[in-house]
Structure 1
Amino acid sequence: MVAPQRKGGRPTLKDIAYITGLGVTTVSRALNDAPDIGKATKARVRLVAQQIGYRPNRAGVRLRTGKTNVISIILNTEEEVMGMTASMLNGLAKAIGETTYHLVLTPYNLDQDPLDPVKYVVETGSADGIILSRTQPNDPRVRYLTEQKFPFVTHGRTNMGLEHAYFDYDNQAYAASAVAALTARGRQQIGLIAPPNFMTYSTHMLEGLHTELEKHNLVEVPIRNINTDSTANQIEAEILRIMMSKQPLDGIICASPHSAMAAIAAVETSGRVIGKDVDIVAKETFDLLNRFRPDLIVFEESFKSAGYALGKMVISIINGDEPSKHQMLENPKR
C-alpha cells in the first residue's frame, strides 16, 4: 500500500499509519520505542518511516506533547577519550537511533559545578531525559533530578538510598580479580592507579583491592600523588619515581586504559620488562592494549555496551518505567 498523493509537504504520521494500517497513536508510540508495542510492529513502522523519508517536526511534537524528543548526555570535556567518550557515544547513538529521539551532548569542565549543566537542561526544558557519568556516593545531581521528577539514568552508582536507574561496571570485582591474577604470578608489591577519591567507583575499587590483598597477607603499596584524572605525563612521572625507588612496584593495577598506557611507558623507561619483572593489569575498553603489549593482564569493559544499555534505559524511564527495574551491573571478563 502506498500513501495517498499529497501536494508537497513532508511525510507525516498519518502517512505511515495509512501505509501500515495502524492507528496514528500506535505509529507514534512505535517510533518512540514504547514498551507495550511489539518488536515486529516497531520494525515495520520504522522501515516505512525510513522508506518515505519521515522526520518528526520537533516544534510540532513539543506543541502537541510537551516533549522535545531530545536526550542529553552530560559529559566532562576532559573525559578521557580512550576510556569513554567515543565508544559510549557509539552505543548511545545505536540505541537512540532506533527511535525518534535525538542525542545532544551537554559539556562542562572540571572547574565548573557539575550541577550547573543539569539545572540548565531541566530549567530550559531542552531535553526529555538526561544521562550522567562520574557519579559520587552522595551525588547532588541525582538528588536534584529525583526531586524534580526528571527522567535520568547514570553510568555508575551512588550511595544515597535513592532508587535510580544505572549501568555500572563491577569495579570491586575488577580490583579483587586483578589482585588475584597478580598474586598468582607471585607479585607482592602491588599498587593501584585509582580514580579520584570523590567518585563512587573509587570506593568500590579500593574495597575490592584491600579485601583481596588481606586474603594474601599483603598490604597496598600506596600511589598517592596521581589518579585517573591526572595527565599521562603526571602518571608516567610518578610511576617512574616509584619504580626507581628502593621499593619498586612489581604489580600495578590501572583503573583506566589512559593510566595503563602511562604506566607501561614508566615501567619500560625504568628498564624493566612487563610480564617478567612487573605485571600490569588494565581495563580493555576496545581491542588495543593487548595488541600493543601482549603480556598485559586485561579485563574487558565495553563502553559501547554501556552506552547502548543507558540509551535504552533512559527511553524506558521517559516512558514511565520504574527506575528500580533498570539497574545493571557488568561483571569483569578476561
Structure 2
Amino acid sequence: MGDSQDHRDDLKPGERPTLKTISRITGLAVATVSRALNDAPDISADTKKRVRECADSIGYLPNRAGVRLRTGKTHVISLIVSTEHDIMNHTARLLSSIAGGLRHTSYHLVVTPFFPDEDPMRPVRYVVETGSADAIILNQTEPNDPRVDYLMKKGFPFVTHGRTNWSDIHPYCDFDNRRFGELGIEALTRRGRKCVLLVAPPPYHFYGKEILEGTKEACERTGMKRLVLQDVTTDSHIDDIATSVRAALKAHPEIDAILCGSTNATVAATGGAEASGFVIGDDFDVFAKEATSFLNLFRKQILVVPENVGATGALLARAALQAIDHPSRPPIQELSVPTFNDPLGAG
C-alpha cells in the first residue's frame, strides 16, 4: 500500500483508532509510532510522514490527558490576540501561517482572545497559572511590555510578534517598521511631494513608535513636512479614519501625500481623500504596506511594500517550539527588513 492510501478500511468493526492500530497497519513498533507522532529527532522524515498519514487517514486523535500525564506537556501553543483588529488586518494571515508551521508536529494552536476593555495580562496569567499551554505567542507588543516581563520572570516559554526593549534576550519575529517609514518618505520625496499625512499605529505599541521615529528622521533628512493624525490610529474604525483624513485635508491643503501603517487604514484614508475631491496619483500619493496582494487591486496607484506574514508565522511557530524543547539555546530572533521596488530609483 502507498503511504497516502486511505486506511479506514483497515479498521476492524467498532475499533477505536489507537497507537496499536497504527502499529498494526504500518508494521512499526508502538514505541516507534509514538515517537514519530511526537516528532522525535531520531525518527526519519519518511517514517514520520508515513505514520502521520496513517493516523490522519484513520482519524487517530491522541488522548490529551494521557499525553499530559506521561510528558507533563499539553502540546498546545496559545496565540493571544486582541479582538479589536479589523478584518483586513493581517491577523488572519498570521494565524493561518502559525498553524501551518505546527501542522506536522504534535502541537495544536489555540487562539486566546482578549477584549480592548480587558486587562491584557488576564489571558497571559490564565495560561500560565492553569498550565493550559506549553508556550505563548504574543503580538502588539509594547516597549516595556508587562506581559513579556511577567513571562520572563516566570520562565514560561514564549515568543513575540514584534519587539520590546528586552528583545536582545527573548525570541521574536518582527517587521522593520522604522525602515518601512523611511522607505515611504524617500519614495514620496522622489515624487516631488512636500507634505505627508501619517496614519500611524498607536504610539504605545513598539511598531507604532518605530514608524513614528522612522518617518520623523526621514522627513528631517529630506525636508518633507510631516503631519500626524492625532485623533485616530490604524486601529480606529475605518469611518473614523476617513472622517479624520477629510478634516486634515481641509485644515491643511498643503498635504499631498499619505503614509499608512495598515491595509484597512490605507483604504479608509484613500477613500476619505477621494471623497474630498482629491485624485490619487495626481493630487496626492499613498504609501502603505500589506500582507496580501489587495491594495493595488483597490487602487493601482498606491505605492505598496509587501510584508511576508506567511514566513513570519512559520518562524514564530519554530521559535515557540524551540523555547519549549530547547530553552538553553540562543532564542530565535528575526527582523525582516522591507524593500520597495521603486521605478523612480532607490529603494
TM-score between both structures, scaled by the size of structure 2? 0.88
Change in CA separation of 1:110 and 1:198 when aligned onto 2, cut-off 3 Å: same
- Given that 2:287 and 2:302 are in contact with CA atoms closer than 8 Å, whether structure 1 keeps it comes out as yes
Spell out, residue by residue over 1:68-120, the C-alpha distance to the aligned partner (whole angstroms, 9 max, x if none).
Answer: 12111111111222112221121122222222222211111111111110000
Report how far residue 162 of structure 1 moved.
Answer: 5.7
Separation in 2 of the partners of 1:35 and 1:242? 58
Asked if the contact 1:33/1:315 (under 8 Å) is kept, the reply is no
Amino acid at match of 1:239: V
Is the Cα contact below 8 Å between 1:289 and 1:296 reproduced in 2? yes
Is residue 2:276 matched to residue 1:270?
yes
Q: Which amino acid aligns with 1:72?
A: S
Alpha-carbon distance change, 81 to 5 in structure 1, aligned in 2, over 3 angstroms: closer
For structure 1, which segment, 18-27 or 211-220, has the greater mean C-alpha deviation from structure 2 after superposition? 18-27
- Distance across 2 between alignment mates of 1:30 and 1:113: 40
Among candidates 249, 256, 259, match of residue 243 of structure 1: 249
Unaligned runs of 5+ in 1: none
**Where do residues 181-260 of structure 1 align in structure 2 (5 Å cutoff)?**
181-260=187-266
Aligned residue identity for 2:118: Q
Q: Which has the larger displacement, 130-139 or 308-317?
A: 308-317
| Partner deviation per Cα, 1:216-257 (whole Å, 9 max, x = no partner) | 123422322211121112111111011112444211110001
Residue type at the aligned position of 1:298: V
Distance between the aligned counterparts of 2:185 and 2:44, measured in 1? 46
Worse overlay, 156-165 or 107-116: 156-165
Structure 2 contact 173–315 (Cα < 8 Å) conserved: yes
Write the letter of the residue equivalent to 2:54.
V
Aligned partner of 2:45 among 18, 39, 42:
39
Q: What are the within-5 Å matches in structure 2 for residues 302-321 of structure 1?
A: 302-321=308-327
For 1:277, give the aligned amino acid: D
Question: What is the number of equivalent residue pairs in this alignment?
Answer: 334
Change (3 A) 1:64 1:218: same
Aligned to 1:77: 83
> Which residue of structure 2 lines up, in the alignment, with residue 126 of structure 1?
132
- DSSP 3-state at the match of 1:221: strand
CA RMSD across the alignment: 2.4
Q: Structure 1 residues 33 and 251, CA, compared in 2 at 3 Å: closer, same or farther?
A: farther
Contact persistence 2:189–2:224 (CA under 8 A): no
Residue 217 of structure 2: SS of its match in structure 1? helix
CA offset digits 1:174-195 (Å, max 9, x no partner): 1111111101100110121111
Aligned partner (choices 51, 55, 66) of residue 60 of structure 1: 66
Which residue matches 1:30?
Answer: 36
TM-score, normalised to structure 1's length?
0.91
Which residue of structure 2 lines up, in the alignment, with residue 138 of structure 1?
144
CA distance in 2, matches of 1:86, 1:136: 21
- Flag structure 2 segments of 5+ consecutive residues without an equivalent: 2-6, 341-347
Could you tell me the percent identity over the aligned residues? 46
Q: Is the 8 A contact 1:129 1:314 kept in 2?
A: yes
Query: What is the SS of the residue equivalent to 1:81?
Result: coil
Offset of 1:25 from its aligned partner?
A: 5.0
Contact (CA 8 Å) 1:35, 1:316: kept in 2 or not? no
The residue number in structure 1 matching 2:343 is none
Is the alpha carbon distance of 1:239 and 1:312 closer, same or farther for their aligned partners in structure 2, counting shifts above 3 Å? same
Cα 1:150–1:276 change in 2 (3 A) is: same
Question: What is the alpha-carbon distance in structure 2 between the residues aligned to residue 285 and residue 109 of structure 1?
Answer: 24
Q: Deviations over 1:124-163 (max 9, x none)?
A: 1111111111101111111111121211111101113661
Alpha-carbon distance, 1:307 to partner: 2.1
CA shift in 2, pair 1:201/1:20, >3 Å:
same
Deviates further, 291-300 or 303-312: 303-312
How has the CA–CA distance of structure 1 residues 167 and 202 changed in structure 2, closer, same or farther, with 3 Å as cutoff?
A: same
Q: Which residue of 2 aligns with 1:301?
A: 307
In structure 2, give the amino acid aligned to 1:289.
L
- The CA deviation string for residues 3-53 of structure 1, in whole angstroms up to 9 with x for no partner, is x98785433334445655656555434323455654334323322322343
Distance 2:329 2:236 in 1: 34
CA distance in 1, matches of 2:332, 2:275: 45
C-alpha distance in 2 between matches for 1:137 and 1:207: 14
Kept in 2, the 8 Å contact 1:31–1:45? The answer is yes
Whole-Å Cα distance in 2 between the matches of residues 221 and 305 of structure 1?
A: 33
Provide the residue aligned with 2:285 in structure 1.
Answer: 279
Compared CA separation, residues 246 and 85, structure 1 to 2 (3 A): closer
Alignment CA distance shift 1:33-1:253 (3 Å): farther
How far off is 1:323 after superposition? 6.4
CA contact (8 A) 1:82 1:285 kept: no
Report if the CA contact (8 A) 1:189-1:251 is conserved. Answer: yes
